[in-house]
Chains A and B, each alone.
Chain A
Amino acid sequence: MKYDFAVIGAGPAGYVAAKKAAGAGLKTLLVEKKKLGGVCLNEGCVPSKTLLQAAKTYHHAKHGSVFGVTVDGLNFDFPKAHAHKNGVMDKMRDGIAGLMKKYKVDVIEGEAVLQPNRKIVINGEEHEADNILICTGSSPAVPPIPGIDQDHVVDSTGILNTETLPKRLIVVGGGVIGCEFACMYASVDVPVTVLEAMPEICPNLDAEIAATLRTELEKKGVEFQLGSKVEEIGKTSVTYNDGEGSKEIEGDLVLVATGRRPNVSNLGLEDIGLEFSPRGIKVDDRGATNLPGVWAAGDITGRAWLAHAASRMAEVVVNNITGRTDRMRYDAMPAVVYTSPEVAVVGLTKEEAEERGIKTRSGRMPMAINARYIAENPDEGGLCKVVLEKETNRLLGVHMVGGACSEMIFGATAMLEAELREEEIEEIVFPHPTTSEIMKDVFMGVR
Chain B
Amino acid sequence: MATPVIMPRQGQSVESCILTEWKVNVGDQVAEGDVLAVIETDKASFDLESTASGTVLALFWEADDDVPVLANVAAIGNEGEDIEEFRPEGQGSAPAPAAAAPTPAAPEAAPQATGTPAVPAPVQASGAIQASAGVSPRARRLAHKHGIDPETLPGSGPEGRVIERDVEAAISGRPRLSATAKARSLSGDFETPARGTGLAGMVRSQDLKVPGSVEGAEVTPLKGIRKVIAERMIQSLHTTAQLTLHASFELSRAQAYRKERLDAGQSKVSLNDVIAHAIVKSLGEHPALNAHFLGDRIATFEKVHLGVAVDTPKGLLVPVIRDASEMSIEKISAEVKNLAGACREGTISPDNLSGGSFTLTNLGMLGVETFTPVLNAPEVAILGVGGIVLKPKRTESGEVEYVDTLPLSLTIDHQAVDGAPAARFLQSLVERLENNPGT
Contacts A325-B201, A394-B205 given; indicate if A419 touches B180 (C-beta within 8 A). Answer: yes
Q: Would you call the interface of chain B mostly helix, strand, loop, or mixed? A: helix
Contacts A392-B184, A392-B205 given; indicate if A329 touches B197 (C-beta within 8 A). Answer: yes
Q: Report whether B197 and A420 are in contact in the complex, using a CB–CB cutoff of 8 Å.
A: no
Complex CA gap A418/B205 in Å reads 10
Let me know if A421 is at the binding interface, CB within 8 A. Answer: yes
Question: Which residues of A lie under 8 Å from residue B205 when comparing CB positions?
Answer: 392, 394, 419
Complex CA gap A418/B203 in Å reads 9
Q: Report whether B179 and A424 are in contact in the complex, using a CB–CB cutoff of 8 Å.
A: yes
Interface residues of B in 191-248 (CB under 8 A from A): 195, 197-199, 201-202, 204-205
Let me know if A417 is at the binding interface, CB within 8 A. Answer: yes
Let me know if B183 is at the binding interface, CB within 8 A. Answer: yes
B202 → A minimal CB distance (Å): 8
Let me know if B14 is at the binding interface, CB within 8 A. Answer: no
Complex CA gap A71/B201 in Å reads 55
A395 → B minimal CB distance (Å): 9
Q: Report whether B201 and A421 are in contact in the complex, using a CB–CB cutoff of 8 Å.
A: no
Q: Report whether B195 and A419 are in contact in the complex, using a CB–CB cutoff of 8 Å.
A: no
Let me know if B181 is at the binding interface, CB within 8 A. Answer: yes
The interface size of chain A toward B, counting residues with CB under 8 Å, comes to 14
Question: Which residues of A lie under 8 Å from residue B428 when comparing CB positions?
Answer: none
Minimal Cβ-Cβ distance residue in A for B178? A419
Complex CA gap A24/B199 in Å reads 20
Let me know if A327 is at the binding interface, CB within 8 A. Answer: yes
Our pick among B180, B197, B198 for the contact of A421 (Cβ within 8 Å) is: B180
Bitwise interface map of A from 411 to 447 toward B, beta carbon under 8 Å scored 1, else 0: 0000001111101100000000000000000000000
Complex CA gap A423/B184 in Å reads 13
Q: Report whether B197 and A394 are in contact in the complex, using a CB–CB cutoff of 8 Å.
A: no
Q: Report whether A419 and B201 are in contact in the complex, using a CB–CB cutoff of 8 Å.
A: no
Minimal Cβ-Cβ distance residue in A for B203? A419
Complex CA gap A419/B176 in Å reads 12
Complex CA gap A325/B198 in Å reads 11
Bitwise interface map of A from 376 to 405 toward B, beta carbon under 8 Å scored 1, else 0: 000000000000010011100000000000
Q: Report whether A418 and B197 are in contact in the complex, using a CB–CB cutoff of 8 Å.
A: no
Question: Which residues of A lie under 8 Å from residue B181 when comparing CB positions?
Answer: 419
Q: Report whether A329 and B198 are in contact in the complex, using a CB–CB cutoff of 8 Å.
A: yes
Minimal Cβ-Cβ distance residue in A for B187? A392
A150 → B minimal CB distance (Å): 49
Contacts A394-B205, A419-B204, A419-B205 given; indicate if A327 touches B197 (C-beta within 8 A). Answer: yes
Question: Which residues of B lie under 8 Å from residue A327 when comparing CB positions?
Answer: 197
Q: Would you call the interface of chain A mostly helix, strand, loop, or mixed? A: loop
B187 → A minimal CB distance (Å): 9
Minimal Cβ-Cβ distance residue in A for B205? A419
Complex CA gap A424/B184 in Å reads 14
Our pick among B178, B183, B184, B201 for the contact of A418 (Cβ within 8 Å) is: B178
Q: Report whether B195 and A418 are in contact in the complex, using a CB–CB cutoff of 8 Å.
A: no
Complex CA gap A193/B181 in Å reads 48
Q: Report whether A392 and B197 are in contact in the complex, using a CB–CB cutoff of 8 Å.
A: no
Complex CA gap A413/B179 in Å reads 15
Our pick among A325, A392, A417 for the contact of B183 (Cβ within 8 Å) is: A392
The interface size of chain B toward A, counting residues with CB under 8 Å, comes to 14
Contacts A392-B205, A394-B205, A419-B205 given; indicate if A325 touches B195 (C-beta within 8 A). Answer: yes
Interface residues of A in 40-98 (CB under 8 A from B): none
A324 → B minimal CB distance (Å): 9
Contacts A392-B184, A392-B205, A394-B205 given; indicate if A419 touches B179 (C-beta within 8 A). Answer: yes
Minimal Cβ-Cβ distance residue in A for B181? A419
Complex CA gap A394/B208 in Å reads 15
Q: Report whether A420 and B180 are in contact in the complex, using a CB–CB cutoff of 8 Å.
A: yes
Question: Which residues of B lie under 8 Å from residue A329 when comparing CB positions?
Answer: 197-198
Minimal Cβ-Cβ distance residue in A for B201? A325
Q: Report whether A421 and B179 are in contact in the complex, using a CB–CB cutoff of 8 Å.
A: yes
Question: Which residues of B lie under 8 Å from residue A418 when comparing CB positions?
Answer: 178-179, 198-199, 202
Question: Which residues of A lie under 8 Å from residue B178 when comparing CB positions?
Answer: 418-420
Minimal Cβ-Cβ distance residue in B for A327? B197
Complex CA gap A418/B201 in Å reads 11
Interface residues of A in 297-330 (CB under 8 A from B): 325, 327, 329
Complex CA gap A292/B259 in Å reads 70
B155 → A minimal CB distance (Å): 32
Interface hub of A389, A419, A423 (most chain B Cβ within 10 A) = A419
Question: Which residues of B lie under 8 Å from residue A325 when comparing CB positions?
Answer: 195, 201
Complex CA gap A329/B181 in Å reads 17
Minimal Cβ-Cβ distance residue in B for A424? B179
Our pick among A393, A417, A424 for the contact of B199 (Cβ within 8 Å) is: A417
Interface hub of B179, B183, B195, B199 (most chain A Cβ within 10 A) = B179
Interface residues of B in 257-288 (CB under 8 A from A): none
Complex CA gap A418/B180 in Å reads 8
Question: Which residues of B lie under 8 Å from residue A392 when comparing CB positions?
Answer: 180, 183-184, 205
Q: Report whether A421 and B199 are in contact in the complex, using a CB–CB cutoff of 8 Å.
A: no
Q: Report whether A421 and B195 are in contact in the complex, using a CB–CB cutoff of 8 Å.
A: no
Complex CA gap A277/B199 in Å reads 31
Question: Which residues of B lie under 8 Å from residue A421 when comparing CB positions?
Answer: 179-180, 183
Q: Report whether B198 and A420 are in contact in the complex, using a CB–CB cutoff of 8 Å.
A: no
A316 → B minimal CB distance (Å): 12
Complex CA gap A394/B197 in Å reads 17
Question: Which residues of B lie under 8 Å from residue A420 when comparing CB positions?
Answer: 178-180
Question: Which residues of B lie under 8 Å from residue A389 when comparing CB positions?
Answer: 180
Question: Which residues of A lie under 8 Å from residue B184 when comparing CB positions?
Answer: 392
Bitwise interface map of B from 93 to 128 toward A, beta carbon under 8 Å scored 1, else 0: 000000000000000000000000000000000000
Complex CA gap A389/B206 in Å reads 13
Interface residues of B in 149-188 (CB under 8 A from A): 178-181, 183-184
Complex CA gap A393/B184 in Å reads 11
B184 → A minimal CB distance (Å): 6
A248 → B minimal CB distance (Å): 52
Question: Which residues of A lie under 8 Å from residue B183 when comparing CB positions?
Answer: 392, 421
A412 → B minimal CB distance (Å): 15
Question: Which residues of A lie under 8 Å from residue B179 when comparing CB positions?
Answer: 394, 418-421, 423-424
A398 → B minimal CB distance (Å): 16
Complex CA gap A394/B181 in Å reads 10
Q: Report whether B201 and A394 are in contact in the complex, using a CB–CB cutoff of 8 Å.
A: no
Complex CA gap A389/B197 in Å reads 19
Question: Which residues of A lie under 8 Å from residue B195 when comparing CB positions?
Answer: 325
Q: Report whether A394 and B180 are in contact in the complex, using a CB–CB cutoff of 8 Å.
A: yes
A388 → B minimal CB distance (Å): 10
Complex CA gap A351/B204 in Å reads 22
Contacts A392-B180, A394-B180, A424-B179 given; indicate if A417 touches B201 (C-beta within 8 A). Answer: no
Minimal Cβ-Cβ distance residue in B for A395? B180
Complex CA gap A232/B184 in Å reads 56
Complex CA gap A153/B183 in Å reads 56
A347 → B minimal CB distance (Å): 13
B185 → A minimal CB distance (Å): 11
Q: Give A contacts to B, CB under 8 Å.
A: 325, 327, 329, 389, 392-394, 417-421, 423-424
Give 28 pairs: A residue, B residue, CB < 8 Å, sorted on A.
Answer: A325-B201, A327-B197, A329-B197, A329-B198, A389-B180, A392-B183, A392-B184, A392-B205, A393-B180, A394-B179, A394-B180, A417-B199, A418-B178, A418-B179, A418-B198, A418-B202, A419-B178, A419-B179, A419-B180, A419-B198, A420-B178, A420-B179, A420-B180, A421-B179, A421-B180, A421-B183, A423-B179, A424-B179
**Closest 3 A-B residue pairs measured CB to CB?**
A419-B178, A419-B180, A394-B180
Q: Give B contacts to A, CB under 8 Å.
A: 178-181, 183-184, 195, 197-199, 201-202, 204-205
- List 14 other contacts, CB 8 Å, given A325-B195, A420-B180: A325-B201, A327-B197, A329-B197, A392-B180, A392-B183, A394-B205, A417-B198, A417-B199, A418-B179, A419-B178, A419-B205, A420-B178, A421-B180, A424-B179
